Structure 1
């Protein structure tokens, strides 16, 4: 695992991201705890150590190629699952105030264990649905940046995530190869939810482990109070 830590450090250094020995140790601890708990809880189908370092750790850190995360004070990772991309970003940028939001209580418990094990400060693990939490004071339009690596289409994800973002803030959606089509489909939703601009950066993961697209959205106006709609509605009746 030491070798993979050094590999990760070399890969991200050209982005101006310099990982310390302590940070490499945190990534190793994260991997070990993920695999241990994954034996009793379904957290990830990717368990090979090299694949985790590429498809989870490296992939999460690619956000640093499109956003100056050092200038981001508060970040919410919506539907974070096993903590991607939120926890790798927190390891790399320790000053970040991170909120991890997930709808499954067991996963939230795992995330808190990771935050404690890695001694990460300013990490808040929240059990709840995005449709409900985004209506609450302290969450609504409270974050400089939101991220999501969820499988929902972009017009649905935008309704879940943009209400958390401050005017002038950023939402980055991590998608697979079909991102361009989803961007066209989401054009109206992005306008309605905050007159949001949108651009895309395509990336190829190392060792031929897949293509990724980062969709970077800048929010220019407040999200109307009607959004997000009640639980289930964004998926059943997406904004098109």
Structure 2
């Protein structure tokens, strides 16, 4: 009898856990996840790879979901590392975005977002990426001290093209695109398989009105 009761309780617990995972999969934006990729520096559309990687955590905190110390607003946390990470630092990326085990905390390198704009879709403007089509292009601005504005070019569910946008830079003006930090990001998920499965199923519909903040 005790064995049967235990099995029933276990089945109820598993069913509850699956329901919670499905609910969170519907509650998240499909890009609300961790992303990692290799860094390049772009000059007039031509990329030059550097030995550095960037990790980006997109986060929309809720009452239970995505809770992080000292983070209570939607935003992104960035961290750069690698033997040539100093190249990125010299281009003006603040020191807070570089991993330092002695002073690490999650809010270090976090940028709260004040503005999000969907600019449609289109081909990649990077030389050598002409066959890459971005199904959604999102611009983000932050009002946090020491943060930067950035663009996300969503290629598919598992790939994003990222670039830091500096004042005065414009794709329409090729000569303005100098020393642009560009990253080819791939999903390095912190989420469960069930949540990712639900998010992937929603991805096509999400493209009708893509957003990190508004699901």
Name whichever structure is richer in strand by fraction. 2
Larger RCO (alpha carbons 8 Å, 6+ apart): 2
Task: Provide the TM-score with structure 2 as the length reference.
Answer: 0.26
Task: Provide the TM-score with structure 1 as the length reference.
Answer: 0.24
Name whichever structure is richer in helix by fraction. 1
